[in-house]
């Protein structure tokens, strides 16, 4: 056996960096000026590669001046067909595997077209040195597995962001958690993976998250038609459960109840088929002195004297001591179980044994070359395979060891092509490839392909025409037997093997040059990036130019025409409603306290002075097997100690899903909710609980039963109830009532009908908080986070509240209500914030801090968002110590307290919903927020 690193040879020549004239950079600078009005990177530390790129184009943070003239100049320049783009490439690694190499080639093409490109990688690799030689800015981010966190990058610094491979989903998730859904308008998600089925890890792990991102990103570039069809079908099949069937574009204004079929396609999912690598074309003509060779196809027949790789073939066969009579089997691959490398080694061993039975006098040996990243790890397996030969001819083991060559990967183009030329057949034994870059590389060198009949390989290798197909390795013995038969069938030491190899190899070369030329791919890639960048710019300009907020749901008039993918845009905030997001990189010194003695989620949480009161109908205390109905607990925020209590509440009071509000720092009003266990009927009962005396008094019942209504006290001295669901737990309620509240907690005699909620509002589990923007004549109730919670089974009888199906859906709309203005639409939240009522606290008269919550079903939040009602803007001011929803928070003496709820999996480190939590934390407010923190008056919950 022979192993080692392939000799370095002659590396590709360095491409010259383009020099950009100042005039060519002007549109970029103006574009950045306009965008800064919407997204100012306040105090955000950019990755090194980002800083280098911004300095290179002279539009770093210091150049963000803003202003209407710049905005109009940017509008004029935004859609120039030759606009230079600022492009960020994010990749899981920079190894010699297919996906990073494709990204590198696209990068070099974009650079040659005048675009500015930088790289962020999660892991290093062999291409790292090449990127440095080419002068491409490169920085490292965390190796983003689900439990690690990435650095936010400012989307205003780039026109388009390319996220390479499905495994970068968590990088995309962290960017969305930092900037909101509009970040995805600039995202091109390059997907190379072909799942075997819906249970495959590529699809099954974080399935709901991937569906949300795939439906919303500017484009998903998928490398084969087969793989594109699989992912599109997968997204649409799970769209209902994920809540993606809510779409104004297809006539949906709410997600409740049965809906018509979804559109048959996702326009933002595009096929961008991998090409013949650009480095290979010039080398295929290197032996042709004809001046016209640069414009015509190379000779594809290896039997022809004009075949351009003959000399290269002789050279590289000598490196493995192979003569022209030998039969060389090549496998170019990363070494992993999924790629089937170990099985191929076993198959070659069997082929080597059977080759001994060829007719006597047949010259030549059977030789194998394994080359690729991590392939040196195969050496121990080779030794085991040789030792296992039973029975073995004399000196067989020695001969087999000499016949197997294990080599590491190389980024040298001549080296790569040399091994393809040296071989007589190439094996692709992956379980399923979306494309298989090494396949077209081998085909270009007139090499027959032995490949698995799965995924995008079926679009590249034509069985019996350009190669032979065998079942994937998961087929077990059938796969191994078929591949072994094909290896022996192409043995060039026989006349039939030579003839078949020549026919398949020649057809391979001709097909790849007819259908997989690199320029077609590179032009298509650049066009796609331009389209996404223009669509994102159109949305940003519409958002920056809008004086007000669109009163309607979904896309504004003409917005679909501006955006390249109207269907996907329907799942995004309309440009006119797009959130204003800033980043304030504040430091939070979280400290964990001993676990609380109870667990509870979706509690009523109100703060009166230094006490945080928690009321919940499903509290479970430590050491107790059952739940405590109507448990009333409190935390002294000064000492952060718990006190227990059980309020004696009336039997007809709901057990969960109330509406609740605090008045006068003492009187807790509780109305409606769910009476009984899960999925029980709603009630209209209403009561006042005096937190000082623990006494309960009935107040006028709501006019109708409601499930999870919003309840709050407005500055007009009235208690307002609105929204929630009707008793069927399906239909959103839009009625709005108010009740007079006196200073001593007493109320009026009847609820008064107010202006109803606007169309398309209503829903359960909302957050409502009173804020008064500076300069406003009166306070208003700000309302967000409404969701649908459960569905009835289809065709259920009237009065049947049994929940047969569960799903949750919410939107990012933000509304407010005041007596003078009525209902008013504001700019959206950055992304939905659900189950966050208990952890929404006021900071001053015009600001609220939202800690964690839930974005979508199965996607929890740990972000700390600060909403400024005066500016109608959102700022990410930090992160909570864990992902959590349905938790409670209190603020006292400049210290934030957080406890209970339903934490993420992996002890709160994962975004996926996990168990109920008894964990509790506290942190002093950062200095930037201390001035806004008032003497706490509590938060109003749902």
Q: What is the pLDDT of residues 224-268, one digit of tens each?
A: 999 999 999 998 888 777 777 554 433 444 444 444 445 567 778
Q: Is 49 helix (H, G, I), strand (E, B) or coil?
A: helix
The band of 361, judged by pLDDT with boundaries at 50, 70 and 90, is low
Residue 108 pLDDT exceeds 70: yes
More confident residue, 75 or 166: 166
Q: Which residue has the tokens 């077609």?
A: 520
Q: CA dist 590 to 587, 875, 902, 905, Å?
A: 9, 19, 19, 19
Q: Is the pLDDT of residue 693 over 60?
A: yes
Which of 55-64, 133-142, 354-363, 497-506 holds the top average pLDDT? 497-506
Of the pLDDT bands very low, low, confident and very high (cuts 50, 70, 90), residue 628 is low
H or E segment to which residue 203 belongs: helix 201-204
Per domain, the residue ranges of the chain are: 82-274+521-575, 280-514, 591-930
Report which of residues 161 and 580 the model is more confident about.
161
Kindly report which listed range (60-74, 184-198, 411-425, 436-450) carries the lowest average pLDDT score. Answer: 60-74
The residue with greater pLDDT, 345 or 281, is 345
Q: How many other CB atoms are found less than 10 A from the CB of residue 557? A: 10
Report the distance separating Cα 664 and Cα 715, nearest Å: 11
Q: Which of 888, 810, 807 is nearest to 852 (CA)?
A: 888
User: In which band, very low, low, confident or very high, does the pLDDT at 338 lie, cut at 50, 70 and 90?
Assistant: confident
Q: What is the mean pLDDT of residues 49-54?
A: 38
User: How far is the C-alpha of 660 from the C-alpha of 744, rounded, in Å?
Assistant: 18
Report whether pLDDT(104) > 70: yes
pLDDT at 189 over 80: yes
Which residues, 6 or more positions from 724, have their beta carbon under 8 angstroms from its beta carbon? 659, 672, 706, 707, 708, 709, 710, 732, 733, 762, 763, 764
pLDDT exceeds cutoff 70 at 357: no
Query: Is a pLDDT exceeding 60 seen at residue 494?
Result: yes
Residue 4, judged by CB atoms within 10 A of its CB (0-12, 13-18, 19+), counts as: exposed
H/E run at residue 771? strand 767-771
Architecture of domain 591-930: 6 Propeller (2.120)
pLDDT at 335 over 70: yes
pLDDT tens per residue across span 288-302: 444 444 456 789 999
Cα–Cα distance list, 134 to 115, 128, 138, 503 (Å): 14, 10, 11, 40
Spatial contact of 818 and 781, defined as CB atoms under 8 Å apart: yes
Please give the C-alpha separations between residue 386 and each of 29, 335, 381, 402, in angstroms, as whole numbers. 64, 19, 9, 11
Residues 790 and 774: their CA atoms lie apart, in Å, by 39
Q: Does domain 280-514 have CATH number 3.40.50.2000?
A: yes
Q: Does 280-514 match 591-930 in CATH topology? A: no
Residue 785 above 90 pLDDT? Answer: no
Tell me the mean pLDDT in the region 507-517.
90
- What is the pLDDT at residue 849? 97
Question: What pTM, to 2 d.p., does this model score?
Answer: 0.81
Domain 82-274+521-575 CATH class label: alpha beta
Does residue 745 surpass a pLDDT of 90? Answer: yes
């Amino acid at each position: 056996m022979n192993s080692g690193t392939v000799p370095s040879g002659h590396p590709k020549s360095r491409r010259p960096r383009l020099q950009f004239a100042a005039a060519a950079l002007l549109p970029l600078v103006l574009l950045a000026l306009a965008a800064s009005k919407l997204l100012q990177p306040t105090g955000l530390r950019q990755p090194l590669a980002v800083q280098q790129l911004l300095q290179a184009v002279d539009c770093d943070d210091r150049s963000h001046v803003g202003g209407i003239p710049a905005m109009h100049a940017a509008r004029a320049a935004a859609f120039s067909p030759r606009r230079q783009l600022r492009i960020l490439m994010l990749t899981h690694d920079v190894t010699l595997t297919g996906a990073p190499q494709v990204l590198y080639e696209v990068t070099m093409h974009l650079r040659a077209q005048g675009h500015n490109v930088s790289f962020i990688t999660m892991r290093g690799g062999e291409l790292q040195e090449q990127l440095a030689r080419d002068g491409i800015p490169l920085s490292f981010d965390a190796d983003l597995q689900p439990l690690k966190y990435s650095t936010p990058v400012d989307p205003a610094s780039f026109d388009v962001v390319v996220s390479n491979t499905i495994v970068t989903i968590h990088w995309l998730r962290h960017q969305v958690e930092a900037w909101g859904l509009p970040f995805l308008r600039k995202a091109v998600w390059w997907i190379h993976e072909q799942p075997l089925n819906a249970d495959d890890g590529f699809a099954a792990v974080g399935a709901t998250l991937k569906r949300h991102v795939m439906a919303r990103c500017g484009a998903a570039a998928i490398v084969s038609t087969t793989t594109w069809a699989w992912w599109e079908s997968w997204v649409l099949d799970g769209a209902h459960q994920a809540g993606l069937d809510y779409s104004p574009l297809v006539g949906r204004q709410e997600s409740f109840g049965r809906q018509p079929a979804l559109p048959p396609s996702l326009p933002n999912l595009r096929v961008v088929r991998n090409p013949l690598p650009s480095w290979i074309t010039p080398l295929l003509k290197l032996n042709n002195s004809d001046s016209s060779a640069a414009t015509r196809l190379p000779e594809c027949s290896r039997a022809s004297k004009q075949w351009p790789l003959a000399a290269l073939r002789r050279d590289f066969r000598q490196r493995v001591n192979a003569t022209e009579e030998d039969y060389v089997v090549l496998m170019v691959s990363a070494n992993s179980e999924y790629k089937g490398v170990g099985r191929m080694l076993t198959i070659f061993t069997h082929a080597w044994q059977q080759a001994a039975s060829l007719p006597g006098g047949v010259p030549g040996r059977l030789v194998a070359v394994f080359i690729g990243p991590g392939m040196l790890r195969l050496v121990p397996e080779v030794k085991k395979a040789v030792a296992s030969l039973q029975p073995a001819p004399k000196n067989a083991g020695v001969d087999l060891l000499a016949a197997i060559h294990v080599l590491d990967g190389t980024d040298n183009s001549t080296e790569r092509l040399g091994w393809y030329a040296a071989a007589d057949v190439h094996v692709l034994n992956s379980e399923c490839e979306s494309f298989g870059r090494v396949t077209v590389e081998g085909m270009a060198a007139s090499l027959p392909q032995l490949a698995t009949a799965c995924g995008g390989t079926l679009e590249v290798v034509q069985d019996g025409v350009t190669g032979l197909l065998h079942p994937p390795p998961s087929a077990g013995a059938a796969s191994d037997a078929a591949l072994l038969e094909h290896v022996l069938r192409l043995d060039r030491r026989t006349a039939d093997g030579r003839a078949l190899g020549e026919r398949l190899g020649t057809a391979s070369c001709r097909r790849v040059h007819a259908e997989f030329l690199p320029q077609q791919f590179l032009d298509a890639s650049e066009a796609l990036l331009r389209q996404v960048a223009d669509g994102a710019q159109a949305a940003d300009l519409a958002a920056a130019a809008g004086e007000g907020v669109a009163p309607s749901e979904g896309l504004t008039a003409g917005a679909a025409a501006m955006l390249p993918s109207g269907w996907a845009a329907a799942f995004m905030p309309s440009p006119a409603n797009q959130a204003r997001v800033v980043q304030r990189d504040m430091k939070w010194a979280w400290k964990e306290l001993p676990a609380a003695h109870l667990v509870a989620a979706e509690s009523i949480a109100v703060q009166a002075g230094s006490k945080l009161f928690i009321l919940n109908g499903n509290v479970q205390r430590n050491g107790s097997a059952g739940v405590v109905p109507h448990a009333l607990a409190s935390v002294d925020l000064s000492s952060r100690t718990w006190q227990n209590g059980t309020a004696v509440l009336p039997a007809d009071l709901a057990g969960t899903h109330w509406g609740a509000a605090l008045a006068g720092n003492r009187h807790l009003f509780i109305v409606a909710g769910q009476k009984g266990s899960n999925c029980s009927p709603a009630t209209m009962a209403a009561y006042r609980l005096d937190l000082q005396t623990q006494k309960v008094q009935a107040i006028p019942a709501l006019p109708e039963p409601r499930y999870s209504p919003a309840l709050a006290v407005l500055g007009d001295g009235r208690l307002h109830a609105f929204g929630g669901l009707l008793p069927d737990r399906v239909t959103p309620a839009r009625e709005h009532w108010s009740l007079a509240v006196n200073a001593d907690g007493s109320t009026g005699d009847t609820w008064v009908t107010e202006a109803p909620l606007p169309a398309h509002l209503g829903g359960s589990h909302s957050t409502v908080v009173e804020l008064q923007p500076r300069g406003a004549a009166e306070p208003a109730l700000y309302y967000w986070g409404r969701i649908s919670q459960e569905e009835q089974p289809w065709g259920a009888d009237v009065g049947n509240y049994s929940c047969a199906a569960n799903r949750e859906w919410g939107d990012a709309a933000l509304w407010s209500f005041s007596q003078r203005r009525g209902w008013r639409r504001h700019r959206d939240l950055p992304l939905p914030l659900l189950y966050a009522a208990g952890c929404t606290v006021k900071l001053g008269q015009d600001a609220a801090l939202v800690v964690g919550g839930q974005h979508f079903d199965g996607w929890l939040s740990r972000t700390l968002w600060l909403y400024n009602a005066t500016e109608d803007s959102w700022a990410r001011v930090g992160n909570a110590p864990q992902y959590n929803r349905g938790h409670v928070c209190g603020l006292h003496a400049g210290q934030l307290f957080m406890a209970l709820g339903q934490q993420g999996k992996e002890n709160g480190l994962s975004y996926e919903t996990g168990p109920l939590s008894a964990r509790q934390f506290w942190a002093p407010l950062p200095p930037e927020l201390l001035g806004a923190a008032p003497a706490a008056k509590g938060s109003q919950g749902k």
